Structure 1
């Protein structure tokens, strides 16, 4: 991927922010001589071969070291061909050299380990070998974009690598520079299999903790799945116990508010049928019905009314949905006179 000095999103990490590279725990690595020679060769030769992994949505580079590291598509392929990583028969007697340890635990100037690079180049088999080799601390190293190998494997939709990382207890809670956990990435990209691998390995308590995490835009995984209109992902998160009424951090919208804004009637019905609060209020007091009426969406307003939405709740502007419906006959038809309330009680049947 193309690299430039003024590229947006690059974050410099001090040594205090860097996670332990786990060098001391890699004393039992056993590799053949050809592997070492190949890796030495790749470390001393710079090439201009680039492989673009740019996502069509975010324009953010995926490989934070590409272009600044001598490990390229070609040289990484040479390493893979020359290396055979196996479990040593005797950890005490099969000690590796300091040079071998340094090569496998080298972190590029942009924070990528060889595991990051193997995943970026979609070398799944080699990545699996490294996953089995490395301790958890190495699996959780974040590069200068705060991406862990699990972030990258999810982004590139490599469920087998995701599975391997999760089974080795790679962290599901670490956040990248946008505040996204790997599960956020899966929900944003729509990778259901990767999300399934992550959630299948978690206890209910772990799931609850992860799905409640907000990224720097205040969005949880359920918010992202709703915004992407991914009904299957929403159902998966519901099954795992996601809070349907969680407000996002900037304006207090719940997933139901978002579905109403998107005019996604099917999503609204799905959320309501699973227990979403039809009268949940944003920070400004607006309920989903306020939003539907304000957008002149009669069909959406009808669905909400049929689910028991309160037509007389006021927002911070002291407006009820009925006030916002003024002049729209289709929506006013949803508010019959005998349904008007005073102090939360229906006018019909009241004694004056």
Structure 2
């Protein structure tokens, strides 16, 4: 509210104004000439008897006016400027702005700026009891909400190895097929990190067709669950996946490697033995035509090359460079010993015993 100091008395203003006191000032100075300075009052009005304008005077009763200090005979012409300057009437007091009350957001349906639901947050903070309660009341659609990293609650529960939460989510029908920003399903994550309990829960009561779809899913690096388990040496996970019918000769999407190729590259003799005992194909070609035996010989790994030969690996298969495994031996006597001369063939026929 603004006013010009013109000395005029307005009874309506007198009646409605709770904190002006301006008319008291005018009554004291009614003999004075009108002043040019504007009275830019923006002081805040308090209903609790607080002080105004820093004068230190408390609010009096309504009959004595709320700011009787303005009517005090101690006010002089010299102090007027200071009083006017110290007193301000706030713009809010001048015109009340009505704002509709905002409805409180339901935390159960709220989503953070990172895309997390309250279930995501409960799992992130590893509050398993609260997470279990939310899983019980939320419909499947909420259980499968993915955050900004495309992680579902099941992804996070697996990452944090919250085995009980994983079990509850799977039992309530949470999707096993959703892929995060790296293309990993929750089962990919569990296979990579060797979380056998989580793998067991996610594969236990799932139909063969649904599980096969997950096991054949490649992440953005072209790797299936079995590839990740092989790459990270998760032998127990490999055993679980094999029991669930995982395809032992599945090829990755970038180079065509099977789990056996990967085990050979990693010099993982234990895994090579496991895969061979399960019937993994020793002669599967990569996209460049290399078999596991090519890789073993090329890496000068005589032990694994011997295992492959004993399992019936074809020694004469050629890769895209027209090389046989023998061509890659590079003078290694241990490996050359795996290729006796009577195994040398021409056009598929053994050289030994041929009459010229």
Both proteins in one fold, TM over 0.5: yes
What is the number of residues matched between the two proteins?
255
Shift, 1:349, TM fit: 4.7
Unaligned 5+ segments in structure 1 are 1-97
Deviations 1:130-164 (A, max 9, x none): 00100000000000000000000000001100011
* 1:155-234 map, 5 Å: 155-234=159-238
Q: Distance in 2 between matches of 1:173 and 1:312?
A: 41
In structure 1, the residue matched to 2:265 is: 261
Greater radius of gyration (CA): 2
Q: Distance in 2 between matches of 1:130 and 1:346?
A: 70
Q: Distance in 2 between matches of 1:255 and 1:296?
A: 19
2:289 is paired with a residue whose SS is: coil
Specify which of 305, 311, 314 is matched with residue 309 of structure 2: 305
- Contact 2:230–2:259, Cα closer than 8 Å, also in 1: yes
* 1:127-146 map, 5 Å: 127-146=131-150
- Contact 2:250–2:259, Cα closer than 8 Å, also in 1: yes
In structure 2, the residue matched to 1:291 is: 295
1:243 is paired with a residue whose SS is: coil
Q: Distance in 1 between matches of 2:263 and 2:330?
A: 23
In structure 2, the residue matched to 1:347 is: 351
Shift, 1:101, TM fit: 7.6
Q: Distance in 2 between matches of 1:157 and 1:254?
A: 28
Unaligned 5+ segments in structure 2 are 1-101
In structure 2, the residue matched to 1:248 is: 252
Residues 105 and 294 (structure 1), Cα distance of their counterparts in 2 relative to 1, 3 Å cut: same
Q: Distance in 1 between matches of 2:196 and 2:280?
A: 22
* 1:264-275 map, 5 Å: 264-275=268-279
* 1:28-43 map, 5 Å: none
Alignment TM-score, normalising by the size of structure 1: 0.70
Q: Distance in 2 between matches of 1:321 and 1:275?
A: 21
Q: Distance in 2 between matches of 1:350 and 1:173?
A: 58
Shift, 1:203, TM fit: 1.2
